[in-house]
Every structure is written in structure tokens, then in C-alpha cells.
Structure 1
């Protein structure tokens, strides 16, 4: 199984968290900790190198969107592979989350 990892870069008011591997219940604490640490106006999560997303990962993303929104901040997702995007589609979260095709479009 691919190990989960993340890397954060920042440019002004935008922080970009790049995820790789599998975002499952074992990995959510690391992402939650990183999201809590950031104070940028826009937090983007790049899903392109993510291979798997389960319900715990989806929940973490939704909670982050709600928390950032309550602080007048934005969460933006960079679309991932077909398997990852399918999770958002079958749960109809594509209607409630903001997606871009590439981080340059933020």
C-alpha cells in the first residue's frame, strides 16, 4: 500500500497541501493537524497524487471546509484521479465543494 504523505507550500494568502498515497482513517490525523496549523485565506488541497480516499478522509475535508468557511476563508480542491473523484461524485460533494483542475487556477 502506498504510504500517505503531505507537503505544504505557501504563496501569499494561499497555502497548497499536496497529498499522496491513501487518505484513510489512519492518515486523517496528519491532515487535520496540518489544516489546523495554517492561517491562510485560501487553503487548497491537491488530490492529483492521491490514490485512495475513504469516508474518513472525505469527512476530514468536509470539516475543514466548514471550519474555514466559518472563518471567512476558502477550501479549494485540485481534482484527483478518477477513483478519488468518484468518491466526491457518488456522495454528491462535487455540488458542495470547490474544485479546480490545477493549482495554477487558484
Structure 2
């Protein structure tokens, strides 16, 4: 099993949160905590380093999107591997989320 890790850095006017490993029920509290500390207008989650994401991870991302939207902020996702993207596709979450192909495509 691959441990979950995240790093946060400034990406111009946005915050880039790079996720690695497995975003599952055990990792969601760490992600929620990191997202709550950010005050940037745009928050980008780089999913390219994720090997796995379950429904708890998806739920955390959707809740973060709604919270940021309520605060007139944006959540942008950098597309992950096929297994991770499949979770978004089968739940039709792609209709509610904003995806880009690379962090440099995140615009303010």
C-alpha cells in the first residue's frame, strides 16, 4: 500500500497541492486540513501522483469544491492517471469539476 503525501506550493496567484499515493478514507483528514488552511482564490489539486482514489477521496474533493465556490474561489484539478479519472467519470463528477492537463494551465 502506498502512503498518502501532499505538498503545497504557490503557483502564481494559485495554490498548488500535489497529491501522491492513495487518497482513501485514511488520507482525507490530512487533505481536508491542508485545504482549510489555504486562502488563495484558486486552489489546484495535482492528481498526477495519485495511484488510487476511493469514494471518500472523491467526497472530500467535492466538498472542497463546494466550500471554495461558496467563498467565490475556485478548485481546479490536474488530471490524474486513468484509474483516478475513472472515479470522476463513473460518478459523473466531471460535470461538476474543472480539469486541466497540467499545473501551468491553471489560470486565475
Could you tell me how far 1:44 is from its partner in structure 2? Answer: 0.3
Could you tell me how far 1:47 is from its partner in structure 2? Answer: 0.2
Could you tell me how far 1:11 is from its partner in structure 2? Answer: 3.2
Q: How many Å separate the matches in 2 of 1:57 and 1:25? A: 7
Counterpart in the other structure of 2:13: 13
Counterpart in the other structure of 2:25: 25
Q: Which runs of 5+ in 2 are unaligned?
A: none
TM-score by length of 2: 0.96
Q: How many Å separate the matches in 2 of 1:29 and 1:97? A: 21
Q: How does 1:33-44 map to 2 (within 5 A)?
A: 33-44=33-44
Counterpart in the other structure of 1:100: 100
Where 2:69 maps in the other structure, the secondary structure is: helix
1:60 paired to 2:60? yes
Q: How many Å separate the matches in 1 of 2:51 and 2:11? A: 26
Could you list the structure 1 runs, at least 4 aligned residues long, displaced by more than 6 angstroms after superposition.
Answer: none
Deviation string, structure 1 residues 61-81 (Cα, Å, up to 9, x no partner): 000000000000000000000
Tell me the matched-pair count: 106
Q: How many Å separate the matches in 2 of 1:74 and 1:10? A: 15
Could you tell me how far 1:13 is from its partner in structure 2? Answer: 2.4
1:74 paired to 2:68? no
TM-score by length of 1: 0.98
Q: How many Å separate the matches in 1 of 2:33 and 2:5? A: 13
Where 2:84 maps in the other structure, the secondary structure is: helix
Could you tell me how far 1:57 is from its partner in structure 2? Answer: 0.3
Q: Which runs of 5+ in 1 are unaligned?
A: none
